[in-house]
């Protein structure tokens, strides 16, 4: 009598979950780390952009021609500076795995997207790149759901 050893099977996907959902969740988990890094880098760049706008508001040369959201460049500098500081804090929280950072990351990426949309006449290419990054950050943070819920200490 021969006994065949069954080949190891992957663990079940869990109640109500398919393997496809688990694969998507693993992409989102990696995306969450990447979103944290992106928020850190984008935050530092927004801080630098804000400092330039505050210190030298003649750096950005624009022909806005009656633009609806016509703030002076110094005001945009303060907006980018504040959003950048918050993005750096949230990005660090995401990399530490803090649960609060996930929801605040979605919010700050949404605000950044709105600010960059309104900043299009000042730096169109950079604003479009930042809007794309913000979309990715929102997707990664909104689709990642840890399989075992929150761990002790409020971690993701």
In a domain, 152, yes or no: no
Tokens (6 digits) for 102: 């996930």
The structural domain count of the chain equals 1
Say what the pLDDT of residue 150 is: 47
pLDDT digits (tens, 9 = 90+) for 102-138: 899 999 999 999 988 988 887 889 889 989 989 988 9
Residue with tokens 């496809």: 20
In a domain, 16, yes or no: no
In a domain, 7, yes or no: no
Other C-beta atoms lying within 10 Å of the C-beta of residue 11: 7
In a domain, 154, yes or no: no
In a domain, 119, yes or no: yes
In a domain, 51, yes or no: yes
Model confidence at 152: pLDDT above 50 = no
In a domain, 122, yes or no: yes
DSSP letters of 54-117?
HH-TTSS----SS-TT---HHHHHHHHHHHHHHHHHHHHHHHHTBHHHHHHHHHHHHHHHHHHH
Containing structural domain, residue 91: 37-59+68-143
Say what the pLDDT of residue 119 is: 82
The pTM of this model reads 0.70
> Please, which pLDDT band fits residue 64 given cuts at 50, 70 and 90?
low
């Amino acid at each position: 009598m021969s006994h065949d050893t069954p080949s190891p099977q992957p663990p079940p996907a869990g109640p109500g979950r398919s393997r496809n959902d688990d694969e998507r969740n693993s992409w989102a988990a990696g995306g969450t780390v990447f979103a944290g890094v992106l928020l850190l880098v984008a935050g530092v760049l927004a801080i630098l952009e804000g400092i330039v706008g505050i210190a030298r508001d003649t750096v950005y040369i624009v022909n806005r021609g009656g633009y609806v959201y016509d703030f002076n460049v110094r005001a945009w500098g303060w907006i980018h500076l504040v959003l950048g500081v918050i993005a750096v804090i949230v990005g660090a929280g995401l990399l530490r795995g803090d649960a609060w950072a996930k929801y605040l990351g979605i919010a700050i990426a949404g605000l950044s997207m709105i600010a960059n949309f309104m900043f299009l006449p000042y730096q169109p290419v950079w604003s479009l790149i930042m809007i794309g990054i913000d979309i990715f950050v929102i997707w990664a943070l909104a689709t990642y759901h840890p399989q075992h819920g929150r761990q002790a200490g409020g971690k993701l």
